[in-house]
Structure 1
């Protein structure tokens, strides 16, 4: 762990909240609205991350004061930023009241190449001819490790090469640089506008400069910079050579065509409303960047909290999140991405048939808090959802069946004979252990899906067994999980709490028991968890363990809206007394209620909830996880893949009923 001072130093380079992402599903970067590149992942979008700090700046002629870093708002630079239309290219225009220069910067990854392209246009807005020096400072923390790095200027390729072990990054331009420095205090040298020509250092950073002389008033100069990756020095330099072999305009046109084809292959937005259509398109573009090119893995978000200082990290693949995302891909006509994900998911299944909490792109278990029963159940449900949307049904069934059979057998074995619900596991928010009602509904959905697969395979006995188990879960939800006092389903049964919480609850007359564990340890368990939680909507939407119009389900949804609507700015919080990041409303939870209201036939209410998401996009049009409960500003995680998926699903649910 790092201390608070180290954390604050880290956050000055890499803030929690970013403004944009760009990439090609193999290389991914996160960016600020100043144009600063915060992080770069390659060759997968989850791990490893390689950038410590990358800065860009200008020195005007013989002016004093050294370099002004135009990716720095504190230095007086003002920025206007947004995505280039219909692409994942991010464009920032930087101006300064004291400098007669405008900088336009466009960041994108070249399709199919280990290459980040950074296009710059420098415009002289003054009345005098100007000489400009453009500076690039790069500090690479390759494989997220500050040790064993080397930085070397390669004269032949006119490139700064950063390498460590099996990764290398070559930084250069098709324009010839006019100065360089490897290590040796290169940050301070660049800031002062003087690079000493040091060729190689066993350090992680280096700087380069380019000189543009005699820029006339109103004239612009264009030049590209490239960050090329490879698994060796030779590979990275070869990738940079390819980059230089083509013009920036060619790279940009190819990128533009790539995203144009991706969107053309998708189903068009089923709404003519401009705001809905814009967010729908941006959702599809963002979701594609969160689906790994080589494996098909879908990650929850680009990582932003590497030290787990405020959360447990997000750049992993959760089966639950991915099941919602793939269902959105299905609706959007992008089922090939769903199929690729489910082919990957088989590699992440445990020998006992379970799927654990979350995974890396290679299928190995990521840092974990323990089993979440809804993860594997959601994957089985999601496989069936793809199957019924797919034109490749039998081939898909054959590939999935062994995993389905093992997965369903595991779920079947995890049923509590006492309650009829699945045995205790972590909840979907990863905060508590109990027999959660949402997890029970997910297992209902997973077993129902597995039973349907079994029928297709002609395995009637298995199908009947799993279908019966699913119906028993639905019956147990009805008989054991209703909380009359709140007009809502219980969040769960057999809730594990601390000894202090247990003793206080027992003193208030609540029921519970002490469970003896191994080696003399004890668990303190309350009979019920009465907290109203938005995930209770999942009983009905999407898992259908209880019909949407069942009186108890209607009461539960109304209790959720009444108790969880954020009082100041609207939107739906996760649950009563939620304290995570201050207890803000979430976009996905608000859209979850939108889904329910749509299926309930309360279309005007659903449209208002959909509109909430539209009104709370970030400045670049992305959906966050949370909205600040007081200001309405983005509060946490940008972008959250699940948020975008819930928006796409909400749009289709309303459109299918002619209500958009």
Structure 2
């Protein structure tokens, strides 16, 4: 199930599924550790003897974000309950604090008692062994803990009571009305949320092992009135830290934190809000929302995570919660275009810290800078073989040069020069076929095949060109000349090896056989766009034009959904064998690559209109919340694979920035 609503602050990330239930809770890094492990945190409403959990099919849900901020706005109704709910969720921009405001409206002519139930299936540090959950009566809160991972759960309802602390916010009772701590997944126990279904919790004060908890807040609603309740969850390393956060919420009021968080994200967007020219309003809105969603997927220590939808782990026993240097570089490039250099700088420092002494970046990394899981082997035919996607090393340098070109932040770049730029430049200049000049074989950006790749070759050319420009700027002309010569040889090799005149276009991959001849993979692949996007060839080079036209003609999905596939007969989450009409599932980023080429080649403002249509395609096929998945179903446009995909949102941001720059440069 996709993650329709992510909210976060760069350390704490909360993901909601399509039923508006928490499914992922990451801390202290975005993408590491997932303390829910994808399990459902049930949310339910009890009234008049009936309880309905939010996964009940009777709920009508409208899920999205409040205007231009990382605060949710969720509208809920259920015919059995005769109640209307409006919920707002936020992760405080500074504290590790998740809050929810629930406005409950009673449209009937009678007074009613409403109970809101919140369930927590915490798997602290991503496993359930050795957890403790307990009720603490002084603060009327529930704590979960294991080692240096603590969680405090509390809430507030209208009407101060004698037992409230003197410094509690005026007019509100802070504390839980019901609670239960128990076991889950042990001896067939379903968990404490089942205990709530009669509207009453057991009050069990502690449980240890594989545990969960359920708590309740009570509201009294006179006829035709609305009442508000607040719920919050504080996260920290010990009892004192989470208790301090709780004390601050109790003293200031939970609305203080929600309001300041909404204001922070408004300000964050306003600092770099572009003039949207003639861009349609829905595309402008998705641009701003994409920036906010991107921020939720980026760790404060620099890791740009590919995605944090843990459902993928059910199928493959692994996730997308890693920093792929390629994805990170392209996301950082988009954010630099948008003006957010403070977000991108930690990413380049991250890459400096993890690059090998030989000068290459490996497959992917965890947010704490340790090496992540990989399926690329270190041996081939019994001999050492580098398990790399070389474009990942190259694109970091390409993006860093674009960053420096825009910001001219020499004091920032200086510590990266020797340890990252020169180290990677030396590696790329040497890691080439000596006869043709092209890069030696590595794995492709889709992580499926190994060879001399068009996309990778273009990226390495761009990385070496960036290294040459940096070296020249730092006065090291010998290194600059060496990198420039290597880049020129790569381009010549690509023209000689990967351009196939019999097809009137470039091909995606070649491999040298034992007799020195080349074997070609002529599969049409949307990643061929890299040949012009990274600057190796002009976008209007006839060979590029023919290649991009072939992508447009043959990889466009010929159903009512549309969009561009990765490549012909793409097997990943494949939904159809009608390859003439459905060569693969439509991907947002591949569709946007076509938009970017259309923008790059437009000669007039009218020539930009097809690009606008492709941007609008993304708006139409995103989730109602605005979240963009990796790909969509070619017949139903339902999201497939992970959602949100950071790369999808970043490519939308980059495409809009390129559109606006081109629009300003063109005559009417």
TM over 0.5, shorter chain: yes
* Aligned-partner Cα distance in 1 for 2:515–2:95: 58
* Aligned-partner Cα distance in 1 for 2:201–2:638: 41
* Aligned-partner Cα distance in 2 for 1:308–1:130: 41
Q: CA deviation at 1:465?
A: 0.4
Which residue is equivalent to 1:113?
95
Q: CA deviation at 1:454?
A: 0.4
* Aligned-partner Cα distance in 1 for 2:638–2:252: 41
Q: Deviations over 1:324-343 (max 9, x none)?
A: 21121122111221222212
* Aligned-partner Cα distance in 1 for 2:317–2:212: 29
Which residue is equivalent to 2:104?
122
Which residue is equivalent to 2:611?
606
Which residue is equivalent to 1:349?
355
Q: Deviations over 1:23-66 (max 9, x none)?
A: 112111111343211111111111101123311212224x2x5x
Choose the corresponding residue for 2:40, options 40, 53, 56: 53
- 2:436–2:489: 8 Å Cα contact kept in structure 1? no
CA 1:311 to 1:604, structure 2 compared with 1: closer, same or farther past 3 Å? Answer: farther
Q: CA deviation at 1:310?
A: 5.0
CA 1:555 to 1:322, structure 2 compared with 1: closer, same or farther past 3 Å? Answer: same
Which residue is equivalent to 1:150?
132
Which residue is equivalent to 2:55?
72
* Aligned-partner Cα distance in 2 for 1:234–1:452: 51
**How many pairs align?**
612
Which residue is equivalent to 2:180?
181
Q: Does 1:360 align with 2:366?
A: yes
Q: Deviations over 1:341-390 (max 9, x none)?
A: 21222112112111111111222211123310000100011110100011
- 1:269–1:281: 8 Å Cα contact kept in structure 2? no
Q: CA deviation at 1:275?
A: 1.4
CA 1:550 to 1:123, structure 2 compared with 1: closer, same or farther past 3 Å? Answer: same
Which residue is equivalent to 1:296?
302
Range with bigger deviation, 81-90 or 360-369: 360-369
* Aligned-partner Cα distance in 2 for 1:556–1:578: 18
Q: CA deviation at 1:306?
A: 5.3
Specify the SS of the correspondent of 1:365: coil
Gapped runs of 5+ residues in structure 1?
1-14, 496-511, 516-524
Specify the SS of the correspondent of 1:19: strand
TM-score, length-scaled by structure 1: 0.89
Q: Deviations over 1:73-94 (max 9, x none)?
A: 32x1211221111111112121
- 1:348–1:355: 8 Å Cα contact kept in structure 2? yes
Which residue is equivalent to 2:159?
none
Specify the SS of the correspondent of 2:46: strand
- 1:346–1:400: 8 Å Cα contact kept in structure 2? no
- 2:352–2:416: 8 Å Cα contact kept in structure 1? no
CA 1:121 to 1:546, structure 2 compared with 1: closer, same or farther past 3 Å? Answer: same
Which residue is equivalent to 1:519?
none
Specify the SS of the correspondent of 1:43: strand
* Aligned-partner Cα distance in 2 for 1:337–1:400: 19
Which residue is equivalent to 2:658?
653
Q: CA deviation at 1:440?
A: 0.8
Q: Deviations over 1:231-263 (max 9, x none)?
A: 123322222222222223212210111101101
Range with bigger deviation, 134-143 or 445-454: 134-143
Q: CA deviation at 1:398?
A: 4.0
TM-score, length-scaled by structure 2: 0.88
- 1:321–1:642: 8 Å Cα contact kept in structure 2? yes
CA 1:241 to 1:284, structure 2 compared with 1: closer, same or farther past 3 Å? Answer: same
- 2:217–2:229: 8 Å Cα contact kept in structure 1? no
Q: Does 1:279 align with 2:286?
A: yes
Q: CA deviation at 1:112?
A: 0.7
Q: Does 1:91 align with 2:73?
A: yes
Matches within 5 A, 1:205-216: 205-213=212-220, 215-216=221-222
* Aligned-partner Cα distance in 2 for 1:143–1:282: 30
- 1:271–1:277: 8 Å Cα contact kept in structure 2? no
Specify the SS of the correspondent of 1:88: coil
Choose the corresponding residue for 1:537, options 529, 537, 542: 529
Which residue is equivalent to 1:493?
510
Specify the SS of the correspondent of 2:105: strand
CA 1:448 to 1:651, structure 2 compared with 1: closer, same or farther past 3 Å? Answer: same
- 1:412–1:466: 8 Å Cα contact kept in structure 2? yes
* Aligned-partner Cα distance in 2 for 1:311–1:657: 44
Q: CA deviation at 1:531?
A: 0.9
Q: Does 1:254 align with 2:260?
A: yes
Choose the corresponding residue for 2:622, options 617, 622, 625: 617
* Aligned-partner Cα distance in 2 for 1:603–1:60: 55
- 2:506–2:547: 8 Å Cα contact kept in structure 1? yes
* Aligned-partner Cα distance in 1 for 2:270–2:345: 19
Range with bigger deviation, 613-622 or 422-431: 613-622
CA 1:47 to 1:526, structure 2 compared with 1: closer, same or farther past 3 Å? Answer: farther
* Aligned-partner Cα distance in 2 for 1:258–1:455: 41
Which residue is equivalent to 1:527?
519
Q: Deviations over 1:624-643 (max 9, x none)?
A: 22121112232332211211
Q: Does 1:159 align with 2:141?
A: yes
Which residue is equivalent to 1:462?
479
Q: CA deviation at 1:585?
A: 0.9
Which residue is equivalent to 2:546?
555
* Aligned-partner Cα distance in 2 for 1:529–1:372: 18
